[in-house]
Amino acid sequence: MTVERKSICFRPPEGFETESLFEDNGLSVKPGKTQKRRVRRIFYDTFEWQLLANNAAAIQENRLLSLYNLDTGLPFASVGHSATARFFHPFELKDEKFRSEIERYTELRALIKRCTVEVDIVSQQLLDEEEKTIAILNRETYFLFKEKKSRILITENLAITPLKGFQEETETFASGTGKLLGREHRTRYRDLFMQFMDAAGVPVNDYSSKIRITLQPGDPVQKSAASLLLGTLDIMKRNEPWIPENIDTEFLHDYRVAVRRTRSVLGTIRDIFDSGTTARYRNAFRNAGKACNALRDCDVYLLRESDYRAMLPESLAPHIAAFFKELHELHRIELRRFSSFLRSKAYRAMLDEWNGLLGETERNPVPVATQDTEDRSTLAVAKKNIRKAWKKVLRHGRAIPAQASDAELHSLRIDCKKLRYLLELFASLFPDKTMATVVRQLKELQENLGMFVDLAVQQQYLAGHIEQMKEKPSDPELAAALGGLITTLHCRQQKNRKLFHRTFRHFDNDETETLFNALLNS
Amino acid sequence: MKTIALYSIKGGVGKTAAAVNLSYLASKGDARQTLICDLDPQGASSFYFRISPRDKYNSTKFLEGSAKIYKNIKATDFEGLDLLPSDFSYRNLDLELLEEKKPQKKLRKNINELSSEYRYIFFDCPPNLTLFSESIFAAADIILVPVIPTTLSIRTYEQLRKFFNDTGLDSSKIRGFFNMVEKRKSMHREIIEQRGSQPDFLKSSVPYNSEVEKMGIYRAPLNAVHPSSAAAKAFRQLWEEIQVDLLP
């Protein structure tokens, strides 16, 4: 519960002398001691700019890593951190308090070095009548720091930062400064941040794993589907170069979601292409998905390392190390294998052709000859497919008996995923509010099913590992640890199984039906 | 968070100088956020740090706690050290506390709300023994009592311990230390010899030093302006001992 302080910034005009602020300003503030220093600041953010989206920035200065609020220009959390690596993960940070601050923005994504800025700062104390420092006036000259110590001037900034409890006095002084310099010279740290990235040639907010394509209801569905598929292709391409670098797990995750969405569009919207073309690309993307299944498994289990250790009693926890050691090795092999898949001529050629086909279809959608005369406009097809997918979820869900089997819940999970993809892909055709509510209802069911299937898959994976151990020198402690994990996961799965019917009833009710009808009959 | 009160029933024993210097030393080092609460309506520690309260700040706001307190905390010129300034209206705190449901626990409750922000909180206390003093006793983890090695000063120290014992308060919180010591005076030497070896007294003592009086001119902690003075060294030694013995 801190009273917010805020730096007040101005862009000084050319030839501006700081001393002029103290001449005849009618204020009781006078200049105190002056200090000069030079600092280097390394800016970090995730691939998705999750910090910037929350008006925050992670900045490494000397041996201190700080989180800054870009509105106030002030740090709100700091930790000793000497590494200046190209990237780091929140979980690597030992300070729990700082880590939880950063995990408010990202848990899984690494923070990647975005640019390095050198700042020449002339700091001047601003004193009141009692000669108490009320604020610091910083004249900051920013340079883009390049390799071989070369630097390029970016901009100048005049920042007036109040000491705690002196915001009002500082604002009075800043208001005088504003009058002297002119309103147009007022700036914000967020603007400076953008200037730094611009100078470094780093595009900001240039990535989202969500499809944000606005479709036209009356367009032929071929055209809209091509636009959506170009969107998923773009996400795949954006993530591909980063996957081999092994920076974080989300590059592969987003790639795989884009592949699944592609397959889902090809599988649910018929007649975008002729059946031969559709079958060829469905197969190609199924192969792309398969090629990284093992790598994704490694990612998922490696992320669970601390959870697994926590699940086990102290006597068994250390013995799980051998499992993770093997997993690391497997990850290395799978990463190399999938990286070479991504580089392979066959895959690249397939994507190029796919890109060409989609571009052509988007520009010149030619309806595939069909025998029926149904409405093939985007909105009509979207409604029809969503309705079909929704009804399928209801039909399959209602058929699941009290003692739901793993296979039944797994199958329902896939139905839900298909419905979710359709809702998200065609979201731009429907009112935001209704769509958001429908997705929220579905999400709750998906979370239950996702958790259930996930727990089942984990047990199978660990059991598979025990199976393999039969052929290797025996490690009874590891087998016991894996057995312990399977038992715990099984208990959790059983609890989840009991919750399924309640969660499904929450989805299969009058309220959700009304929402879907409102959406599909609009 | 640890709360340390500089307290004595007697005036003029050097509570403020000790609070200012010890809080400054506590704020040094790695991320050791420290707050000094000037609880004395005379506002001497506020004066030493050149800080006045806001116009609208008063004892009522102080008792309201939480946001009202936060809003009135000000940074000193020393990194990591903040101050909650005193206001002359603090002279009415006793009367206002009477209206509270649990007056003795009021300060502890208000201060607990600051626990996430500060590692150390120092109270520079007024020289009396009132309801407000009892609220301070409940809020403080350690009560440091500066004692001039004279008969009267020792007497008031003993009165305080007796008060604690009579009213069932935890007297183990009380630690005396000799202040304004003049070794050339035989009385000082004798009293220190007799009383200083008792476990409720800290071994470190602070000598009489004109530099302490000049803090009114410097308006800053001695260790910030004259770290080589005898008193500055003694405060450093005293803080070391407090850290080792009382702040595990």
Residue of B nearest to A79 (CA): B31
Confidence band (pLDDT; 50, 70, 90) for A3? low
pTM: 0.84
Cβ of B70 and A163 within 8 Å? no
pLDDT greater than 50 at residue B87: yes
State the average pLDDT over residues A478-490.
92
pLDDT greater than 90 at residue B228: yes
What phi and psi, each to the nearest 5 degrees, are found at residue B205? Answer: -135, 160
Cβ of B50 and A132 within 8 Å? yes
CB-nearest partner of A164 from B30, B50, B73: B73
CA separation (Å) from A156 to A122, A140, A196, A199? 11, 6, 11, 13
Domains of chain B by range and CATH? Answer: 2-246 (3.40.50.300)
Task: Give long-range contacts, CB 8 A cutoff, 24+ apart: A35-40.
Answer: A35/A122, A35/A123, A35/A124, A36/A120, A36/A121, A36/A122, A36/A123, A37/A120, A37/A121, A37/A123, A38/A118, A38/A119, A38/A120, A38/A121, A39/A118, A39/A119, A39/A121, A40/A116, A40/A117, A40/A118, A40/A119, A40/A145
Q: Per residue in B136-161, pLDDT tens?
A: 999 999 999 999 999 999 999 999 99
Rg of chain B, C-alpha, whole Å: 17
A75-79, A286-290, A497-501: the lowest-pLDDT one: A497-501
The ipTM estimated for the assembled molecules is: 0.86
Interface of B with A in 70-109 (CB under 8 A): 70-75, 77, 82
CB-nearest partner of B77 from A2, A80, A132: A132
Cβ of B77 and A1 within 8 Å? no
Q: Per residue in A275-324, pLDDT tens?
A: 999 999 999 999 999 999 999 999 999 999 989 999 999 988 898 998 99
Measured between beta carbons, the chain A residues lying within 8 angstroms of B66 are 1
Measured between beta carbons, the chain B residues lying within 8 angstroms of A170 are none
Cβ of B74 and A133 within 8 Å? no
Q: Would you state the pLDDT for residue A180?
A: 84
Percent of chain B clearing pLDDT 70 (strictly above): 98
Cβ of A164 and B72 within 8 Å? no
Q: Which residues pair with A57 in a beta bridge?
A: A68
Cβ of A80 and B30 within 8 Å? yes
Looking at every residue in chain A, the average pLDDT score rounds to: 91
Residue of B nearest to A128 (CA): B50
- The set of residues, in sequence order, having a beta carbon less than 8 Å from that of A199 and lying 6+ positions away, is A115, A144, A152, A154
B66 close to A (CB below 8 A): yes
Q: Per residue in A102-160, pLDDT tens?
A: 999 998 999 999 999 999 999 999 999 999 999 999 999 999 998 777 899 999 999 99
CA separation (Å) from A332 to A88, A300, A336? 19, 14, 6
Confidence band (pLDDT; 50, 70, 90) for A1? very low
CA separation (Å) from A74 to A70, A247, A297, B83, B210? 7, 29, 41, 20, 40
Measured between beta carbons, the chain A residues lying within 8 angstroms of B30 are 80
Cβ-based contacts under 8 A for chains A and B: 38
Q: Would you state the pLDDT for residue B39?
A: 92
The residue among B36, B241, B13 whose CA lies nearest residue B149 is B13
Q: Per residue in B7-65, pLDDT tens?
A: 999 999 999 999 999 999 999 976 579 999 999 999 999 999 999 988 888 888 888 77
Measured between beta carbons, the chain A residues lying within 8 angstroms of B75 are 163-166
CB-nearest partner of B70 from A3, A80, A131: A3
